[in-house]
Structure 1
Amino acid sequence: MPARLSEWNLVRIEDGELALNHRVTPYDLNSSLFTDYAHKLRTVWLPEGKVAGYDVEEVFDFPVGTVISKTFYYPTQRTGEYLLEQDRTAQRLAEGFRLDAVRLVETRLLVHREEGWVALPYVWNAEQSDAVLKRTGDAQQATLVKVGGEVQDFTYIVPNANQCAGCHATNATTREIQPIGPKARHLNRDFVYSHGQANQIAAWAEAGLLSGVPEAGAVPRNAVWDNQAESLEARARAYLDINCAHCHNRVGPADTSGLLLEHDAPRGPSLGLCKLPIAAGKGTGGRAFGIVPGNPNQSIFTYRMASTDPSIMMPELGRSLSHQEGTKLISDWIAAMGDGCV
């Protein structure tokens, strides 16, 4: 467990820019987990000569030795406040990832060892020259400047190693840590590489990182949650899939809730429609059902998404702020459903 991120040789700082080292491949997801509006640089590295196995539904079968990284950062003002802007990580990499315009906060690693995956959180120093392993996590005070100049103070939480494992142990029985994002439906999109734009799954196959890839038309794809050109239904389901389904799945830590939020969960009580909560306590906000079709203001979903109270909010880890745009998306989806519960 190296004490410094630089010992992994994934990235380097050179002439005021962050750059990826040899055979470190960047990637992005169609829809991603909300983390206090942080931008994210995701990468994967496989041992030379090793290849991941394609899976149509689950996380790809990565070989022992794989290192997956996710670096959280914010664009900044000269005075240090974080700026709420559209994530343009791929463009930054292609044009030169200038450190004088951003603040690197943390890098989380998932390392596939013989005994399974291990989660390691690294926190960047003030000079942005390296990041230090902090298995106990961290808390940093920050200010976010929104569009229009509205300012919001918040505490950015770097999860400890146990919290990382808590989210990534997507099977409540085995409790084995697994990656969450590298699935076909999340990765099936274009990425702007330094040599040009290409579909990520096709690029991984061409680079020898991924085997067993079917024809392009057979690869599933989740919607981009904020792409207005896609249907409201597809965008809402994609948002719930990436933000909630790592717990709310058939074998996940929240399986006893009876709430299934994966992309293919059938519409009905298991998706929250007219479903009574189980052991939600004050998390219900006095609302009777998870989703009241046609009435987001009476739905538990939107109440918990909008809250920043740790005893109420969902997801319960990984954020201090509410995702206003995500909450509106789910509110619009519920409002379009119909006529309430009998």
Structure 2
Amino acid sequence: MWLCGGMLLALLCLSGCHREMDPVAFHDSGYPQKLSDWHVVEARDGVLQLNDGVVPYELNTPLFTDYAHKLRTIWMPKGVSAKYNPTDTFDFPVGTIISKTFFYPLPTGEARNATDLARTYDTSRDFAGPGQGLKLAHVHLVETRLLVRRQDGWVAIPYVWNADQTDAVLARTGDVQALTLVSDSGARENFNYVVPDQSQCVSCHAHDWTTRALQPIGPKARHLNRDYRYADGDENELAHLMRVGYLTGAPAPADAPRNANWMDKHAPLDARARAYLDINCGHCHNPQGAANTTGLTLDIATPEDHHIGICKPPTAAGQGTGDHYFDIVPGHPDDSILPYRLSSATPGTMMPELGRSTVHQEGVALIKAWIASLPGECVVLH
């Protein structure tokens, strides 16, 4: 009886704390000074809590950002929903708020410096429970980015968390923070975490570089077609969004496209590498994107031929090529421009140009293994 009573008391306390949060506030204009002005997620009672109706989600293969972990959420006003699209970003209604909180787990065990953060893929200590928010004693919050669907289109609004981890403040001009990553082996890497300024968001989020109108990147069928551990149990994310009324027109998950998890060693190497390039590079390297003049197309639909870089010379020579002749040389990753640029953290050479200050070692290893597995050869014409 004591155990049941204790559990009931804990649930009542959690419910009582949750009711104290004001309803989500959609601001149809302007730039509120604090993240808490939106009431989407708030730091309360040791947890970064999700408000009522705020739905968390993950991607099959996420975008790499300096080994940061991410809490992604979607909220919509009552009575509206997004329209399913099998290939592109869903058509979200006015009033939608998509949030992405970037954070790092804190190192465990030995003494650490104030700027030390764990470089790990382990998320077991991050969350307060299934479908719940982040356990603040175990993580360090860096920034929360909002994508807000207003009448005239999407607006990106960045917020940076304060030192006390109590709220995040508007940072339209971006921010730079000196941090240190500590690996599981104890190896340390100092780097500058860069929060992009508001104008830089268009570099990745412009679906069409002609209009430069912003679009979300992650909420596509192929990225969301996966299970998530919600508070009431595991469920496919597309099915869950349909059930809660946030999505209409989606087929059964088995009939929807699905990208591979880049870390899933049971998935084919080709599927893992293509999923990695799709989410990290495809939003720019496509016929309408910011990198459309390169002739290099890296989204998931591109056939594995000249368009994806196989035996394709670069459109411009110089620092970014590393004196290599082709974007991808089948069987020879060290002779290929693509992994050369992924392996760099030097401005003017590195790709992507924004969004990271470190090299994603495991991601580079994946792309190199994939290129090594490709058949064929390139001919250099003099």
Q: TM-score range by the shorter chain?
A: over 0.9
Instruction: Determine if the alignment matches structure 1 residue 222 to structure 2 residue 259.
Output: yes
Count matched residues.
342
TM-score, length-scaled by structure 2:
0.87
For residues 29 and 93 of structure 1, the distance between their equivalents in structure 2, rounded to whole angstroms, comes to: 20
Q: Percent identity between the aligned chains?
A: 54
Partner of 1:149: 186
Kindly provide the CA deviation profile for residues 187-237 of structure 1, in whole angstroms up to 9, marking residues without a partner as x: 000001111111000000000110001123211000000100000000000
SS of residue in 1 equivalent to 2:207: coil
- Aligned residue for 1:165? 202
Residue 32 of structure 1 pairs with residue 32 of structure 2: no
Provide the residue aligned with 2:72 in structure 1.
Answer: 42
Task: Give the number of the structure whose alpha-carbon radius of gyration is greater.
Answer: 2
Q: CA deviation at 1:13?
A: 1.9
Q: Indicate how the Cα distance of structure 1 residues 229 and 302 shifts in structure 2: closer, same or farther if over 3 A, else same.
A: same
2:225–2:253 CA contact under 8 A, matched in 1: no
| RMSD, matched Cα | 1.3
Question: 1:63 — aligned with what?
Answer: 93
1:1-342 alignment runs, 5 A limit? 1-77=31-107, 79=112, 80=114, 81-88=116-123, 92-94=127-129, 97-342=134-379
The one-letter code of the counterpart of 1:46 is: M
TM-score, length-scaled by structure 1: 0.97
More moved, 96-105 vs 39-48: 96-105
Measured after TM superposition, the shift of residue 89 of structure 1 is 7.5
1:97 deviation in Å? 2.5
Q: CA offsets per residue over residues 299-319 of structure 1, 9 Å max, x none? A: 000100000001100000000
Contact kept in structure 1, 2:239 and 2:252, CA below 8 Å: no
Amino acid in the other structure paired with 2:70? K
**Structure 1 residue 173 displacement after superposition:** 1.2
Paired AA for residue 281 in structure 2 = C
Give the partner amino acid of 1:338: P
Q: Compute the displacement of 1:339 (Å).
A: 3.9
Checking the alignment, whether the CA contact within 8 Å between 2:80 and 2:93 is kept in structure 1 is yes
Indicate how the Cα distance of structure 1 residues 22 and 128 shifts in structure 2: closer, same or farther if over 3 A, else same. same
How far apart, in 2, do the equivalents of 1:64 and 1:266 lie? 35
Structure 1: distance between partners of 2:307 and 2:357: 28
Q: What SS is found at the alignment partner of 1:309? A: coil
Deviation at 1:249, TM superposition (A): 0.7
Deviation sequence 1:48-96 (CA, Å, 0-9, x none): 1111100000000100010000000001136331001215289714266
User: How many angstroms apart in 1 are the aligned matches of 2:308 and 2:208?
Assistant: 19
Letter in 1 for 2:367: I
User: Could you tell me whether the CA contact under 8 Å between 1:287 and 1:300 is conserved in 2?
Assistant: yes
**Quick one: distance in 1 between partners of 2:206 and 2:99?**
17
Q: CA deviation at 1:167?
A: 1.2
d(CA) in 2 for partners of 1:15, 1:135: 28
Which amino acid counterpart does residue 170 of structure 1 have in structure 2?
H
Distance in 2 separating the partners of 1:165 and 1:124: 22
Q: Is the 8 A contact 2:309 2:328 kept in 1?
A: yes
Greater mean deviation of Cα atoms: 25-34 or 158-167: 158-167
